[in-house]
Amino acid sequence: MKRFAYAALAALLIPGAGMLAASAAAPALLKPMDYVSSGHVRINGHSIDYKSVVGTLIVHPKSYDDAPQEKKNDNPTAVSSMSYVAYFKKGANPSRRPITFLYNGGPGSATIWLHMGAFGPVRVVTADHTHTPAAPYQLVNNDESLLDASDLVFVDAPGTGFGRVAGKNAKKDFYGTDVDAYAFSRFIIQFLSKYNRWNSPKYLFGESYGTPRSAALINILENDDDIDFNGVILLSQILDYSDSIDLTKGNPGNDRPFELALPSYAAVAWYHHKLPGAPVAEKDLPAFLNRVAHYAMTTYAIALNRGTSLDPQTKLEVAKQLHMYTGLPVSYLLRANLRVNGGQFRQELQIDNDLTTGRLDARFSGPAMDPLSEFAEYDPQSAAISSAYVAAFNSYVRQKLGYTGTVAYKPDAGNIRHWNFLHQPPGMPFKKTQALNVMPDLADAMKANPNLHVMVNGGYFDLATVYYQGWYEMHHLSIPQSLTKNIEYHYYMSGHMVYVHVPSLVHLHDNVVAFIRATDNVK
């Protein structure tokens, strides 16, 4: 994230603001903005008229909010204008109309992806599993917009979208797991008041890093702010980073990431026709992956747990079975000591064709940057669609949503290198110096509100947050058995951004609508 001086930030946000004293600039000049327009969308043959708002709200870090008033006046601190695009169905009763807060992950990503690819009233057309050609890009009516079930608020993380952060402690006060969740909680509280939505059925929808944000955020809202939500919707989940298939090098004593990734490896090998033996029909893929998952958590897990005491014959037998499930050569699997991380798998699977396999969506492939490299050096999926989303949103927000400001829209804050992943779980007196794990947060929120429902969604071809990790995490929450019925699971023939595959977007929309209508308490 590029650091902005107060005056420079003011010039960006308020044209003609000029050079004012830094001590007063942030509170005075980071003012909320609102650009209001109207539109309509057709969903399942029905036209919905809506009001849209492109805006910002101002949030401060917890250290500022908790300080006495004289300290706030004497010691200006970090501040953020968080931007959003909201859609409200015209003529709806706010107390009976659900509202959903949606955000992408990163950390440090704006929310153009869920907005322009999944649930906004328009959708950018991209190629299904190949590189989308350059502009002009096509915007179409989004038949799968969630406006048929809920009002929508697409929230950009601090430092992204039309929002900015300022102050000498801005990185410290906004770029971290706990401070980010707090900022989002203050945004939501302000939004509920500004638009009179306190009595609406309320939902969180987070994708990727948005899923750990949701776990930490719902715990703050439920337990600190006494705001019960109806549901939390998780897409491409990762709540415990110690199980990431991309982070195995730093924790060689933990073999679980390899076990949880094996079903996804099998799905990707199936998609690229790399599985040896008889082909598996698409309708039989879920059952096949269940068998792979069973093997992963039994025979494979036992072999890995034995470490260097594993005998050569058993090791060879396991390597042969892994070959059947992944398509990787037995010799490669033996050299890898039966442990292949995400970057290695993506580099090796199609290397005989000089291709690298996608990470966010392994249906995508691209030329290998270095065919001799051990790891995949880029993600063909991200390279294939990002330009379309950024260009389409910038055109749409100005031509259709009435935005006439001069602030540039930032799709990414570039702040992951500054991100503080240390987290203080509920009940702990200090932040834990270990891989991020917000499973206790979600568990506490569910226990505090036994009517809170959780929806888990994942793509079979996601190699960034493998789908079976989400299943495993939710089955290991510290909650009573009676609350497990509040969790439902849905998986799709797509990758991390499930909605890139239009048939999966249709299923995702229908599943989310059913979830909201089953839990909104509207009679």
Overall pTM surpassing 0.85 (yes/no): yes
Instruction: Identify which has the larger pLDDT, 129 or 398.
Output: 398
The tokens for 406 are 């001069």
Judge whether 60 lies within some domain.
no
**Average pLDDT value for residue range 421-434:** 78
3-state secondary structure of 170: helix
pLDDT tens for 2-59 read 222 222 222 222 222 222 223 333 443 467 889 999 999 999 999 999 999 999 999 9
Asked whether residue 416 is domain-assigned, the answer is no
In a domain, 395, yes or no: yes
Least confident of 27-36, 178-187, 472-481, 497-506: 27-36
Residue 167's pLDDT is what? 84
Distance, CA of 216 to CA of 178 (rounded, Å)? 7
Asked if residue 193 and residue 47 are part of one domain, the reply reads yes
Distance CA 285, CA 249 (A): 30
Cα 175 to the center of its chain, rounded Å: 16
Residues 334 and 481 in one domain: no
Percentages helix, strand, coil for the chain, rounded to the nearest 5?
Answer: 40, 20, 40
How many CB atoms are located within 10 Å of the residue 336 CB?
18
User: Cα 253–255–258 angle (5° rounding)?
Assistant: 145
- Is the peptide bond preceding residue 367 cis, with omega within 30 degrees of 0? no
Say yes or no: 177 and 48 in one domain. yes
Judge whether 103 and 208 are in contact, CB under 8 Å: no
Does the residue 286 lie in any domain? yes
Residues 6 or more apart whose CB falls under 8 angstroms from that of 239 comprise: 211, 212, 215, 437, 438, 439, 442, 470, 473
In a 13 Å sphere around the CA of 264, the CA atoms on its Cβ side amount to 39
Closest CA to 444 of 456, 427, 419: 427
pLDDT tens digits, 50-87: 999 999 999 999 887 877 766 666 556 788 999 999 99
Domain containing 20: what range? 1-31
CATH of the domain at 472: 3.40.50.1820
Instruction: Classify residue 149: in a domain, yes or no.
Output: yes
Identify whether the C-beta of residue 117 lies closer than 8 Å to the C-beta of residue 497.
yes
- Please say whether the beta carbons of 110 and 156 come within 8 A: yes
pLDDT band at 385; cut points 50, 70, 90 = confident
**412 phi, psi to nearest 5 deg:** -155, 140
Q: Is there a domain that residue 308 lies in? A: yes
Check if the beta carbon of residue 183 is closer than 8 Å to that of residue 61: yes
Residue 171 is predicted with a pLDDT of 85
- Supply the mean pLDDT for the chain: 89
| Residue 200 pLDDT | 98
Cα distance between residue 456 and residue 211, in whole Å: 10
For position 250, what pLDDT does the model report? 82
Task: Kindly indicate the confidence band of residue 339, based on its pLDDT and cuts at 50, 70 and 90.
Answer: very high
Lowest mean pLDDT across 151-155, 257-261, 319-323, 394-398? 394-398
pLDDT reported for residue 10:
28
Model confidence pLDDT, tens digit, residues 145-198 = 999 999 999 999 999 999 998 887 888 899 999 999 999 999 999 999 999 999
Determine whether 399 is exposed, middle or buried from the number of CB atoms within 10 Å of its CB (0-12, 13-18, 19+).
exposed
> What are 414's two structure tokens?
């570039």
Quote the Cα angle for 49-411-27, to 5°: 85
Mean pLDDT value of segment 452-465: 98
The answer to whether the beta carbons of residues 462 and 264 sit under 8 Å apart is yes
What is the structure's pLDDT at 418? Answer: 79
End-to-end CA distance of the chain: 47
Integer-rounded Cα radius of gyration of the chain: 23
Residue, of 381 and 191, whose pLDDT is higher: 191
pLDDT at 110 over 90: yes
Task: Answer for the pair 156, 174: CB distance below 8 angstroms, yes or no.
Answer: no
Predicted confidence at residue 376, as pLDDT, reads 74
358 and 407 inside one domain: no
**Residue 245, domain member (yes or no):** no
Say whether both 280 and 351 belong to one domain.
yes
Asked if residue 106 belongs to a domain, the reply is: yes
Number of domains, the chain: 3
